[in-house]
Structure 1
């Protein structure tokens, strides 16, 4: 099935759209949303098959189809913040629907997540294992994935608890969306496309991130030389959870001429 995605908007100010990562939903942003609402018109979009869009699926679930669905419901002239797999969607949107994007913030994401001999990333067998484990127990699989996301963070256990507590208020994700999402992470390679991105682009990373290794940042910057890089020195894969004040300050600095701080 395919139909329009549900979206929710809160706050006043410049339009900022938030896209979450694999296995999760828009609940991941709840710990910082009150601060953001004071400065932005925030729009939440659960990716197809996730959260409040758990029952909204394209006929064929791949990056092209979910990108098109998200792009269709973006506010006019918005900025887009994509985290993890949401960052793949955001990069694809910026390549193909650039006229509607003012600023692009790519958080703990990459044009290619899967590791190969000349590219740092997630080992393919790790993603294969997660796909196999999904068939038996989604909750345990997600817990393991969140543990990898938080690996290296000084507040790892707390980070995982925050994420779990916030996302559980939303519907469970669709099983096919979970499987297809892992295949998207394993197979997508946008390295030859990101030089096409024309809008203002900011790429933010956690220095301790094991899913998007910091050693990939120089290669990504070479592929998109007009992008700006920032590294959260003490963060892992979810800086907005582990270091919310630093994350919000960094975000507000991008919009210093557009908002009242």
Structure 2
């Protein structure tokens, strides 16, 4: 795996903040977040199977010019993991929208990786955010934002027994290693990376939330209706994709670009589904150019 000379975050991962958020029609949940830097706010949203750990290699570079907030989505990392099955992108977007309002974030840039990119787009369309000036721009990285754009073998999560049995048998580190290896095109992840991704899955309810989220992604229908919703996104959107992404193929990024009214597609070379680890410097350069607009 390529290594990076980017410095490690200065704030220990266990000294973040917690906030109680309630989406309409649901019980309150406590979300965990970490904040560093000063300047215009930038909110980072991780993908499926991830946590704020996923940003560790690019976070220091972003904090040089921004107040960077990394949020653990409901069901992930150190956030609550209720057994309520409300783990769709729209469910998460409702919570992120409440977080933005409660924190009084304005002139905000949303950056989302994979499922987090889908959540970022849906957040811009959520009540309380849509039609306001709170979100200035959005960057999405390898996001399955339209139905049926993830690799077809992921449909396995919709079967009633196999995924639950696998996640019940495999230890957290074995599962993390398996998922990271696939997301990195077969490359062997470092032990530090495996442990960072595995740690949250030792919490009760983490695997249940993972499967509920995966099923919400694979089970979403009506791509035309979703694309029609995205035409209401008025913010500039940067779409970042690795050319060799095996999880959400590049053709999915091109479909998403066609659905958005104000977008730019940036294709990264030499990476798969995790540019924040595989090509962190290239990703930072791409994001920084967008942030400087």
Which TM bucket (shorter chain)?
0.7 to 0.9
- Tell me what 1:145 maps to: 179
Distance 2:156 2:83 in 1: 26
Give secondary structure in 2 for the equivalent of 1:43. Answer: strand
- Tell me what 1:77 maps to: 107
Q: 2:51 aligns with which of 14, 22, 25?
A: 25
- Tell me what 1:90 maps to: 120
Distance 1:28 1:165 in 2: 12
Distance 1:135 1:125 in 2: 19
Distance 1:165 1:72 in 2: 31
1:68-217 to 2 correspondences below 5 Å = 68-74=94-100, 75-96=105-126, 97-98=129-130, 99=132, 100-112=134-146, 114=148, 121-128=151-158, 130-137=163-170, 139=172, 140-151=174-185, 156-158=187-189, 161=191, 163-168=193-198, 170=200, 172=202, 174-189=206-221, 190-217=226-253
TM-score (norm 1): 0.84
Is 2:54–2:276's contact at 8 Å kept on the other side of the alignment? no
| Structure 1 spans left out of the alignment, 5+ residues | none
> Which structure is higher in RCO with an 8 Å CA cutoff and minimum separation 6?
1
Give secondary structure in 1 for the equivalent of 2:137. Answer: strand
Aligned length: 248
**Which string of whole-angstrom CA distances, capped at 9 and with x for unpartnered residues, describes residues 15-59 of structure 1?**
111111111210111122222211211101101011110x35374
**Which string of whole-angstrom CA distances, capped at 9 and with x for unpartnered residues, describes residues 134-188 of structure 1?**
2322523332222221116xxx324x54532433565745232112111122123
Please say if 1:241 is aligned against 2:277: yes
Distance 1:68 1:144 in 2: 31
Structural RMSD (CA): 2.4
| Structure 2 spans left out of the alignment, 5+ residues | 1-26
Offset, 1:131: 4.9
Q: 1:62 aligns with which of 59, 62, 87?
A: 87
Give secondary structure in 1 for the equivalent of 2:287. Answer: helix
TM-score (norm 2): 0.76
Give secondary structure in 1 for the equivalent of 2:31. Answer: coil
